[in-house]
Structure 1
C-alpha cells in the first residue's frame, strides 16, 4: 500500500480495473481493424484505456469519420457483453466505500459503461466521469480532475486505481497517487506505483477526519 496514506476519495478506472471486458472489446475491434486493413496484432494493444474516437483518429485513415466509426463501435460493444466479468472482489470492495468518497472515471461512453457495469455486477457510484464529459481523453488528466471536483475534493487528495498506461499517466498528471491493478495483465508491470492483483482481502478504514485508506 502507498505508505499507508489516507485519502479524501478513491477514483477508479473501469475496464481492466473494476471489470474485465477484454474478450468483448478485442472481438469488436478485431472486426473493425480487418474492415479497414489495419494490422490486428499491432493494433489491439493500443485500444485499452483510451476513448474509441482517439483510437480511431490515431490511425489517420483517409476518408474515415472517426466520430461515426466510434459511435458504431459503441453500439457493437453495448450489444456484446459476453464474457464481461468483475475483477475479483471489486463489487464487494466498492460497496464497502462511503458513497460520497469514490467515483468511476472511464474512457467509455456512459451507455456502454452502465451496460458493462450491469453485466459485471459493479455498483453505480454517485459520480461518474465518462468520455462525453471531457474534450481530451486519457492520458490528459482532465477526467480525474473533474471527478475530484464533482466529489468536492482536491485531486491531490485522491488515490487513482488504474491498469493502462494512458490512465496511469492521467492519474499522475492530476496530482493523485496511483494504484496499479494487474488483474488483466499477462506480463509483469514495470512501475514505481504500488500494485494489487485484485480486491480480494482488501478492506477500507476511515479515520476520525473522514479520510479513507486501504486496510
Structure 2
C-alpha cells in the first residue's frame, strides 16, 4: 500500500481541519480583497496572490518588508474588509455531512484566520461549529509552524502524531507534517495542482467516517 493510501482504515484519535480552502471555499473573497490591497501598494496581483493562501495576513505582509507599512495595521484593515464580504463563500462539497459524521470531541479546526472572521465564514458556508477551534491570533508563529496543530491536539487531549490533518495549502501541509500528524490534501480550490506525497481528493463526497470509542477512521 502506498504511503498516501495508508491513512484509510487507520484509527486516529482526532481529525484536525484547516478552514479556508479545506472546509469552505473563500477564494473569491480573499482574492477580491487582496487584489485591491496589492494594487494600492504597487504589487502585481497575479503573482502575489499565489503566495498568500494558508498564511496569516500579518505574516504575508511582514515577508514583503514594505517601507512605511505596518503589518499589524494593514492586517486589521484587511480583516475589516473581509468581515464585510462573505459573497460567494461556500462549503467544499460533502464537507458538512462529513463533519456531522464525526463525534464532536474527535475533531477541530486550526485556521490562520482571526476568530471573528473564521466564525463569520463558517456561518456563511453552513459549516458546523467545532468544539475546538484554534485561530491565527492564538499562536506566536503561524503556518508553516506546527504550533497551531500542536495546540489543537493539546486542547482535544490527543497525541498530534495520532491525528489526521486535512489541508489544502503548502504552508498548512508543512505545519501538519511538522506536528507529526498524517496529512490528506483537499484540492477543490487548487487552480494550479502541486505535487504531494499525501493522499489528495477534490472534496469529501467519496469519503466517510467510522468511529469507535476513542478513535475515528477514514473510509471510502
Same fold (TM over 0.5): yes
Whether the 8 Å CA contact 2:8–2:217 is kept in 1: the answer is: no
**Post-superposition shift, 1:3?**
4.7
Which of 209, 213, 216 aligns to 1:212? It is 216
Matches within 5 A, 1:168-183: 168-183=173-188
**1:119-158 map, 5 Å:** 119-158=124-163
Residues in 1 aligned to 2:66 and 2:205: alpha-carbon distance in whole angstroms:
43
Segments of 5+ residues of structure 2 without an aligned counterpart are none
How many residue pairs match? The answer is 214
Q: Which residue of 1 aligns with 2:102?
A: 97
Task: Indicate the RMSD between aligned Cα atoms, in angstroms.
Answer: 1.0
> Is residue 30 of structure 1 aligned with residue 35 of structure 2?
yes
Note the residue ranges of structure 1 that are not aligned, 5 or more in a row. Answer: none
Deviation at 1:183, TM superposition (A): 0.7
**Are 1:127 and 1:151, in contact at CA under 8 Å, matched by a contact in 2?**
yes
- The answer on 1:75 being equivalent to 2:80 is yes
Query: In structure 2, which of residues 105, 115, 125 is the aligned counterpart of residue 110 of structure 1?
Result: 115
SS at match of 2:210: strand
**Using the alignment, how far apart are the partners of 1:173 and 1:52 within structure 2?**
21
Rounded to whole Å, the distance in 1 between the matches of 2:180 and 2:50 is: 26
Query: How far apart are 1:29 and its partner, in Å?
Result: 0.3
Task: Name the SS of the counterpart of 1:91 in structure 2.
Answer: helix
8 Å CA contact retained: 1:51, 1:131: yes
